Structure 1
Amino acid sequence: MRLPVLSPSLVGAVLAPALLLSACSGEISVGGPGAVDRADLEGEVSANMSGPDADRYDVACEGELEAEVEATQDCLITFSDDGSTTGVRLVVTAVEGDEVEFEQTLFIPADEVADAVERAYADPGLTIDEVTCEGELVGEEGATTTCDIVSSAGDVTVEATTTTVDGLVVDFDLTVVS
């Protein structure tokens, strides 16, 4: 089966370009013994979002953020209009007293990448049975993940490569690799 190389801004449509994550790093006080409370963490991520559509997004973190260098916590930012999501991974870079400093890295969850791949290749008329992606797509230029497309016409592997990141909008290209 032959599929075209696509350069969609599919995930760019997932989150409105008017919304920005205003900082790549942040600082927050420890809310409990050795960790930043989940609610405080969600509030900090929300506070870092700006733009006219900031109130149309919900932030949900998986749990608290341990006050240890290199500790991580993932939070999902969900657009209330269509339910699409972008992830933010928080990584602790320093702990000084009750202050926890962290960096934020965007990522697109694997299921969101799979949905985008399916939309991109279903449009040219291909009937797709299933799309599964190896993992998330990190919001850093050049980052990649692969996705397998299963269809009645045959199976194909597609690579998604981040091309640009603007606020919470992560654009990527799709290339057939096998």
Structure 2
Amino acid sequence: MSSSMPARPVLLAAPVLALAGLLAACSGEISVGGPDGISQERLETEVAGNVSGADKDQVEVDCGGELEAEPDATQDCVITYTADGSRTGVRLTVTDVQGDEVEFDQLLFIAAEDVADAVERFYTEQGIVVDTATCAGELLGEQGETTTCEVTSSSDGDATIEVTTTTVDGLTVNFDLDVAS
């Protein structure tokens, strides 16, 4: 561990969606008009429609495919703020299907590569030369959730960074960075 790396937690407001909007609900419901899943296009429209706030028109939603109409089915979507390219993921999980009505929960997350980018930017802004930053996994948008990142620096040494979600405000996931080793 480099002595240049901060040894105590440092609050870092994740720059992964500076959108002043909110994801209007932690759960949702959509009528699919039959036993099939929710199409990718319809899902993207639904997620975009759940974003509110002054900048909601500057949001693009890209889902990985359709959401099957069966309990526990999941689909990830990426919400991109077009003003700066920042991204937040939302994982939709079907909780109930009644006829053509599909109910689902929404959970925000930050993809591992976006967490790594934020960690690298933070330490670079502190004057630390970062050669690489890689994270073990995504960071869920729930208080107390964690992931670890490995930061390598040819001039400042290597460190393992623990990233912990502190708060979620709309589409912004805030987190602390703590040098673990």
- TM-score, with length taken from structure 1: 0.95
The corresponding residue for 2:170 is 167
Whether the 8 Å contact between 1:144 and 1:160 is mirrored in structure 2 is: yes
Distance (whole Å) between structure 2 residues aligned to residue 177 and residue 69 of structure 1: 38
Secondary structure of the corresponding residue to residue 20 of structure 2: coil
Q: Is the 8 A contact 1:76 1:88 kept in 2?
A: yes
Q: Find the aligned partners of 1:176 and 1:76 in 2 and give their Cα distance.
A: 29
- 5+ unaligned residues in a row in structure 2: which ranges? none
What is the CA-CA distance between 1:124 and the residue it aligns to? 2.1
Quick one: distance in 2 between partners of 1:43 and 1:101?
Answer: 16
CA RMSD of aligned residues (A): 1.2
Task: Give the one of 73, 77, 80 matched to 2:79.
Answer: 77
Structure 1: stretches of 5+ with no match in the other structure: none
Partner of 2:148: 146
C-alpha offsets along residues 1-41 of structure 1, whole Å, 9 cap, x if unaligned?
131132111x1x33235210010000112266521100010
**Which residue is 1:89 aligned to?**
91
Q: For residue 57 of structure 1, what is the aligned residue in structure 2?
A: 59
- Within the candidate set 65, 69, 87, 1:67 is matched to 69
CA contact (8 A) 1:31 1:40 kept: no
Deviation at 1:127, TM superposition (A): 1.0
Q: C-alpha distance in 2, partners of 1:98/1:46?
A: 21
Q: Provide the TM-score with structure 2 as the length reference.
A: 0.93
Q: Supply the AA of the counterpart residue of 1:44.
A: E
Q: Distance in 1 between matches of 2:34 and 2:78?
A: 22
Structure 2: how far apart are the matches of 1:14 and 1:90?
19
Q: Which runs of 4+ in 1 moved over 6 A?
A: none
Quick check: 1:158 aligned with 2:169?
Answer: no
Give the length in aligned residue pairs. 176
Indicate if the aligned counterparts of 1:7 and 1:173 stay in contact, CA closer than 8 A.
yes
- The superposition leaves residues 117-147 of structure 1 with CA deviations (integer Å, 9 ceiling, x where unpaired) of 0011112221111100001100000000000
Work out whether residues 63 and 73 of structure 1, in 8 Å CA contact, stay in contact via their aligned partners in 2.
Answer: yes
What secondary structure sits across from 2:144 in the alignment?
Answer: coil
Q: Which residue of 2 aligns with 1:7?
A: 11
